[in-house]
Structure 1
């Protein structure tokens, strides 16, 4: 809520897609892991796993080296690998704890945001391409902006367990009511990522006219979509 409010009131002229994509950077596990290390919370995690200890130590070393070499760039955390999931979990749990412990005083959450989060996002333009690194968002950009297709969906459905094992989720990418890619995982989010990766590999390098021929797409570009789709269609027709 603090991240969304920050963007909404600071950039009232931006559309919902821009706000959503830039919010992704502010609430991502990758960023919150970096915040955890910057505050020093990682030193207080109790565990008895040598694997977790190694993963945290390796991540902290890489993150601190990236910060030293960044020349003050505030997006240094985007250049390192994803943190162990326990680190962003600590930050999220802490924020929830101070909210409850304060008697649900939102000012305490806002104070945490102002102190530890806002500094990283003084210049939001450096995160303009952050969302494109996410497979599902990248797929959306290609289908909507590059190809001009609007009849597509990414769906996920949990598959009940029949033998007591952990239930799985299967996701599919549908284009004009045909499933073109699938992916399975333990959560809907990860299943959609896997399905998106398969779909991206399937349409990689396709010009719009090739996509339309392969998937029977007859979507009409909306006004303001730009000339790229039209230009590539003309090239395809000439070929």
Structure 2
């Protein structure tokens, strides 16, 4: 959902001004945040009042989104779990972005995982696929990593690694989408041995339960004469 995406939460952090209070141990994160702030403010300026300007950003820093989540959690705990305090923050800073939800109708469809699912099922008629993720244990003191793979008909076609399984899946699906973008249906089925559509058609035919026509014997026929 758009409201809880890292894109929106990072943009909200800039909107509220939380990014000014973030302290980083290194220059890499600080540089990423600075570039994001410039990008989001430029998009807002060119949006002519539209509230969905933030959907056009690429690779929002997760640390900015985390600040918003942590702040809302702190409000809830510090108020002794008074949800009305969270609602006050929502009404003051979030509601204005979502008064017209129709502008976000296509937002989820553009997510790499959703896009891959729709492309495989609707374009190719394929249902023999999966996106798997697992954690790679820490080695030599390095932080653990997560690897994800897109598997079609028992064949790995793309993979991605990241610090979280969610981001690893996104990277894997982005790579898979790039690989399949211009592949025609007949070539897809040939390259990946996909017979899902044929199997589905056969199952539907069997499930229809059409009984064969039984031919009655001559003695079973009722002879009807005509009066002249």
**TM-score class normalised by the smaller sequence:** 0.7 to 0.9
TM-score by length of 1: 0.73
Residue number in structure 2 paired with 1:109? 86
Residue number in structure 1 paired with 2:134? 157
Distance 1:50 1:157, change over 3 A: closer
Aligned match for 2:162, one of 177, 182, 185 = 185
Look up the SS of the partner of 1:157 in the other structure: strand
Q: How much does 1:212 deviate?
A: 1.7
**In 2, Cα distance between the equivalents of 1:186 and 1:45?**
20
**In 2, Cα distance between the equivalents of 1:166 and 1:32?**
25
Residue number in structure 1 paired with 2:172? 195
TM-score by length of 2: 0.76
Whether 1:135 aligns to 2:129 is no
Aligned match for 1:220, one of 193, 197, 202 = 197
Which structure 2 residues correspond to residues 37-116 of structure 1 after superposition, within 5 A? 37-47=14-24, 49-116=26-93
**In 2, Cα distance between the equivalents of 1:46 and 1:170?**
29
Look up the SS of the partner of 2:196 in the other structure: coil
Aligned match for 2:152, one of 147, 172, 175 = 175
Unpaired runs of 5+ in structure 2?
Answer: 202-228
Q: How much does 1:186 deviate?
A: 2.8
Look up the SS of the partner of 2:157 in the other structure: strand
**In 1, Cα distance between the equivalents of 2:190 and 2:19?**
52
Give the greater-gyration-radius structure (CA). Answer: 2
Q: Number of aligned residue pairs: give it.
A: 200
Distance 1:199 1:118, change over 3 A: same
